[in-house]
Amino acid sequence: MNDNRPHRTDGQVLRVDNLRIEVKTDAGPGPVLVDDVSFTLRKGEVLGLIGESGAGKSTIGLASMVYTRSGCYITGGKIVFLDQDLRELNGDQRRRTRGVKISYIAQSAAASFNPALTIYEQVCEVAVRHGLMSFAEAKREAVKLFRELELPNPDVFGDRYPHQVSGGQLQRAMAAMAMVAKPDLLIFDEPTTALDVTTQVEVLASFRKLIREHGTAALYITHDLAVVAQIADRIMVLRHGKMVEQGDATQILQHPTQEYTQKLVAERVAASTHEFVESDDTGEALLKIDQVSASYRTLVKVINGVTLDIRRGDTVAVVGESGSGKSTLARIVVGLLPREEGDIRFGGESLPPRLRDRSKDQLRRIQMIYQMPDVALNPQQTLLEIIGRPVSFYFNKSGDQVRQRVKELLRQIDLPESFITRRPGELSGGQKQRVSIARALAAEPELIICDEVTSALDPLVAEEILRLLKRLQDELGVAYMFITHDLGTVKRIANKVAVMLKGQLVAFGSTPKVFAPPFHPYTELLLSSVPEMRSDWLDEVLAKRRQLV
């Protein structure tokens, strides 16, 4: 193995001094994204970067590799990595640093892996391409990392393709890919945001173990204070590209000095202590799912004998780990995956299994809001076109009628009417999700299926979206099927909860009843896996799981 890389004897790995990053366009200078941010990072130390969407967390993380997104430029400051200012390196030198000395672990492993290559081929690629190891050496290192990360059958795990493993396993495989070249610095960019709580525990434990055993320095970017409490030694709080405060993790979480940090901490505490929403079981069922089963072209049923109902004005949360069947159930309800057994009745009439066989009115009455608005909204269309499409499709309106209705919907979701000419790329993450809500409301539905609609948002923006959904429900009487892995969100918004495991419904009823003893064993596991904002929580949960085993 060829490894003649420099190492500091005093342990300092990264020093960022007075970092400034700006947007530049053909018309001239744009906004400042990062302004005068400084920090240091030592070997084996983890610095958590916390803040709302647009705070500059990911921008700073990428800049630590001297990388910026298109249109963004580092215009000031130093980025000193192992005594070398990375800004002084040429393009080839920077490329030899990225992925070798500094590795990046992204939020979505599924989007980061090539589906046509085996996991071995992708995990070993960096070390082989940069001449650090032969493929055989890299493969042995990969197996060692798979074992450290507690992946199943580590000796043959890498022979699989990305689609053949779970989301949590793929996230850990991406950590192995980042570590195979033995980097000095790891950058974790929201790596557990899209994972369910039970999987998140396993992945966090694996990440922490990896950092400790290899003594790697790490930046951990997240908007979840409870998650960063389990892994960070120090925390830096960011807002609008500026540092709000920085300090020891315990101090920041228990005794924050700045008003903004106090607000973040208070919001997290409120989410964990919120009272359950009471259920009202009066009235007829709007949606009735009766013994429904379905499969994806295999003999294995991904949904098996599910029965539940949603009444007008209900918010029914559907919870469970990755692969439990939550989103699949939603696809069956809207007709994207035809059911093979059972019946679904909506407003008293049976819904055809296939989307193409449903009437326009049946389509209109059930709408869906997706997790990632960046994928769900056409970047080339204006908000007038995006929101106006269902208005013209379902109600045969055109011209000024559509424009006036879109303006009404923008007011309803608390966005200015002037946004009607904007495109998704000109909006924040929270604003894009509001547009997705407006598009669903444009059809005047009776049921909206919300598929992880707040999971990619920071806590303050997520709270705004939840309040908006609740207000719209009170005003319009719409019912929600709310798919989520965040049990704090379930507490805030759902009057009923359906717990799913391996395609089956293991518990269903009012939220206070389902989440009160005696629990179904899986419900108890879910509740015990919700992170708490204290540094010893992860160790306690792992100890309890070992006792159960």
Of the candidates 339, 338, 415, 340, which has an alpha carbon nearest to the alpha carbon of residue 383? Answer: 415
CB atoms under 10 Å from CB of 505, counted, come to: 22
Distance (Å, rounded) from C-alpha 69 to C-alpha 23?
Answer: 10
- DSSP letter at 56 equals S
Residues 183 and 103 sit within 8 Å (Cβ to Cβ): yes
Categorize the per-residue pLDDT at 429 as very low, low, confident or very high, splitting at 50, 70 and 90. confident
pLDDT on residue 464: 85
pLDDT on residue 71: 86
Is the pLDDT reported for residue 405 higher than 60? yes
Residues 20 and 75 sit within 8 Å (Cβ to Cβ): yes
Is the pLDDT reported for residue 465 higher than 70? yes
- Give the pLDDT mean for 443-458: 88
Report the predicted TM-score, pTM, of the whole model to 2 decimal places: 0.77
Of the candidates 349, 381, 375, 379, which has an alpha carbon nearest to the alpha carbon of residue 362? Answer: 349
Do β-strands 315-319 and 496-501 pair in parallel, antiparallel, or remain unpaired? Answer: parallel
pLDDT of 162-206, one tens digit each?
A: 888 877 788 889 999 999 999 999 999 988 876 778 878 888 888
pLDDT on residue 278: 65
Of the candidates 267, 262, 263, 237, which has an alpha carbon nearest to the alpha carbon of residue 249? Answer: 237
Is the pLDDT reported for residue 2 higher than 50? no
Categorize the per-residue pLDDT at 507 as very low, low, confident or very high, splitting at 50, 70 and 90. very high
Using DSSP's 3-state secondary structure scheme, residue 403 falls into helix
Burial of 110 (0-12, 13-18, 19+ CB in 10 A): middle
Distance (Å, rounded) from C-alpha 371 to C-alpha 321?
Answer: 16
pLDDT on residue 223: 83
Least confidently predicted of 159-168, 278-287, 357-366, 369-378: 278-287
Residues 467 and 178 sit within 8 Å (Cβ to Cβ): no
Is the pLDDT reported for residue 85 higher than 90? yes
Is the pLDDT reported for residue 134 higher than 90? yes
Work out the widest C-alpha separation in the chain, in whole angstroms: 73
Strand partners, 28: 25
CB atoms under 10 Å from CB of 423, counted, come to: 16
Q: Could you give the domains of the chain?
A: 112-182 (no CATH), 285-514 (3.40.50.300)
Residues 63 and 35 sit within 8 Å (Cβ to Cβ): no
